[in-house]
Structure 1
Amino acid sequence: MSTVGTASASAAAPRYQVPFPCGETWVGSSGSSAHTGYEIDFNGTATDGDRDLGRSVVAAAPGKVVMSEYRTTDGFGNVIKIRHSDGSVTLYAHLDKRLVSVGANVGQGQEIGKLGKTSAKYKMAAHLHYEQRTSSGKIVRASFNGAGFQYPGQKIKSNNGCDGGTNTEPANPNTGSPRYSPEQICGSGFKRVDSAALGSQGTVYLLYSNATGQNCVTAVRKSGAGKVSATAYLEVKGSKRVTDAGTYQYYAGPVRAKAPRTCVKWGGAIGSAKYDSQFEHCG
């Protein structure tokens, strides 16, 4: 998204989700002696050791990567920072691997790294150190799916990416047709595979990421004021269809699903114009 990451006084705060894939349950704690406030350490259970090493970490909200590096002075090790539409920042530290680079636009629920225990300052078991910050850098109480995190600790299930619910549609002052590119919507690493016109309303796109094995579908409106009904869906053969449907001004989606060497059915609609594919792109 071309404007994600630009601070705006009028932009609404994103609806953060737990930074792990849909349906996973994690235990968050703020009890570490190294913490000074509202930081959260996430593990799969309360006493997980290194069993979480290498598990997927995903973006809590769509945004732009403003830091992706190995840090020594603050003990973060491999750390990623993402700036969101209202200027707020989420931070993901001690990662085993970083999968996105500075400047990348990422979608909510997109994998950005692998959970780890990297640090030049501390010895630790594998976990994710997570923070939500204001635009000025102040660490604040975290919220997920519209509810405040229950400090000092909570067992919490992720809704991140469930039922295609990843579309927060920040305001876009840019002009042009379309106002967002499908690559910006789906995130770093996704390349176009196919597309279909939705009459004069816009285009639905199918993209694929070689790095993650994921397909992504988004229906992008060409122009027009106000909001319209829009839908994007993706169905991997043998799996449940994932759909994002609502009333949007710019696009529906992104919806993502892993489909390496598997046929997919995809499509979408804007207003009364729609497209439905057959099962295809099986390679």
Structure 2
Amino acid sequence: MKISGAIVAGVALVTCLGTASAAAADPADPQPETTHQAQLLATNFQLPFPCGQSWTGNSNNSSAHTSYEIDFNRGGSPDADLGDTVVAAAAGTVVISSHQGSTNGFGNLVKIDHGGGWSTYYAHLNARSVSAGQSVSQGQKIGTVGKTSRPGNNISAHLHFEVRQGSNYPANVRKAVFNGVTFGYPNQTLTSRNGCGGSTNPHTAESVCGSGYTVINSAGLGSAGTVYLLYNKSNGYNCVTTIKRSSIGTPTATSAYLEVQGSARKTDSGDFSYYAGPVIAKAAGKCVKWGGKAGSSSHDSPFQHCG
């Protein structure tokens, strides 16, 4: 949440089986959708891949999917990610590390118990790097992307990932939350913050601006943050937000602005803990200036993105 004063297009190419202290929230801040989501946010799950890698998740490309299961791929061809590293989404204890044989379509499966009834599943692995009973830390390698399954089930390489709570399958499969933000079902491309070190900002430009907005430009503000320009093609609005990358959770001077050609500049500026903005204005068919500041760095664009 923002406290004043106080995230490669792709398609899964497969068929498979399957505590922060209390604070007043800005009404525009993204909120957990359900009690389950609030609990899941507290686990601080991260994408199950190394820091900086971008992966496309798809929940509807397989006829075998029954709920919020996700298939992850990167690269433009089948098996492009075969052998890529898979890491633990959160710390926990390995309760399954085995090849499932003909039991189901999971092939090489790792299941991690995170406590409180929460667990994660990593299926079709090419190789497993952990054993049942082993404690793992967030970001620790647990295996590699593969295409193992039951005999005769030929699939392309991918990671089948699930978050579950309880044991009543498939009702126990929950929406995945990565870096504090709910996965954009049915598909979304995300960049991993797993193992990046230091504090991570749970907010992304898309989560701040809201549904329908897509990043069309961005500018780094040193190590202090990044300012983003987004556009919603369904309504013709632009959105600007500055996401902090340092002093996360500590109020520091942060700003974001948007100026539509022919209109007055709109600015959000103050001592914010996570981000400035969103600054939103209708700009279809017009040029915009945009920018922001975090720490000692700032960005000011010329009029651009006219259209």
TM-score (norm 1): 0.53
Matched-pair contact (CA < 8 Å) for 1:117–1:126 = yes
Letter in 2 for 1:78: N
- Identical columns (%): 53
CA distance in 1, matches of 2:40, 2:156: 38
Which structure 2 residues correspond to residues 87-106 of structure 1 after superposition, within 5 A? 87-106=117-136
Distance of 2:106 and 2:166 partners within structure 1: 20
| 1:92-117 CA-partner distances (Å, limit 9, x unpaired) | 00000000000000000000001100
The equivalent of 2:44 in structure 1 is 15
What is the match of residue 266 of structure 2? none
Superposed CA offset, 1:236-263 (max 9, x none): xxxxxxxxx99xxxxxxxxxxxxxxxxx
Contact (CA 8 Å) 1:59, 1:112: kept in 2 or not? yes
1:79-228 maps to which residues of 2 (within 5 A)? 79-120=109-150, 122-136=153-167, 138-164=172-198
Q: Match of 1:43? A: 73
Determine helix, strand or coil for the equivalent of 1:37.
coil
Which letter does structure 2 place at the counterpart of 1:152? P
User: Secondary structure of the residue that 2:98 maps to in structure 1?
Assistant: strand
**1:140–1:126 Cα change, 3 Å:** same
CA distances 1:9-54 after superposition (whole Å, capped 9, x unpaired):
x998411000000000000001211111100000014x43111010
**Secondary structure in 1 matching 2:197:** helix
Q: Cα offset for 1:165?
A: 5.0
C-alpha distance 120-110 of structure 1, shift in aligned 2 (>3 A): same
Q: Residue 40 of structure 2 contacts residue 177 of structure 2 at CA under 8 Å; is this kept in 1?
A: no
Q: Distance in 1 between matches of 2:113 and 2:84?
A: 23
- Counterpart check, 1:30 vs 2:59: yes
Count matched residues: 161
Q: Which amino acid is the alignment partner of residue 176 of structure 2?
A: A
Residues 176-214 of structure 1: per-residue CA shift (max 9 Å, x gap): xxxxxxxxxxxxxxxxxxxxxxxxxxxxxxxxxxxxxxx
Identify if the C-alpha distance between structure 1 residues 151 and 100 changes in structure 2 by more than 3 Å, giving closer, same or farther: same
> In 2, Cα distance between the equivalents of 1:99 and 1:165?
27
- Mark the CA change 1:144 to 1:156 in structure 2 (over 3 Å): closer, same or farther: same
Q: Among 49, 55, 59, which residue is 2:88 paired with?
A: 59
What runs of 5+ residues in structure 2 fail to find an aligned partner?
A: 1-38, 201-247, 250-307
Query: 2: distance between equivalents of 1:67 and 1:13?
Result: 24
Q: RMSD of the TM alignment (CA)?
A: 2.6
Give, in angstroms, the shift of residue 136 of structure 1: 2.9
Q: 1:54 to 1:11 in 2, by over 3 A?
A: closer
Q: Kindly indicate whether residue 105 of structure 2 is the aligned counterpart of residue 75 of structure 1.
A: yes
- Equivalent-residue separation in structure 2 for 1:119 and 1:165 (angstroms): 37
Distance 1:101 1:75, change over 3 A: same
Q: Is the 8 A contact 2:41 2:180 kept in 1?
A: no
Gaps of 5+ in 1: 1-9, 167-244, 247-283
Gap change, CA 1:102 and 1:163, over 3 Å in 2? same
Distance 1:12 1:29 in 2: 21
Q: In 1, are the aligned partners of 2:50 and 2:193 still within 8 Å (CA)?
A: yes
TM-score, reference length from structure 2: 0.49
Q: For residues 43 and 70 of structure 1, what CA distance do their matches in structure 2 show?
A: 21
Shift in CA distance, 40/123, structure 1 to aligned 2, threshold 3 Å: same
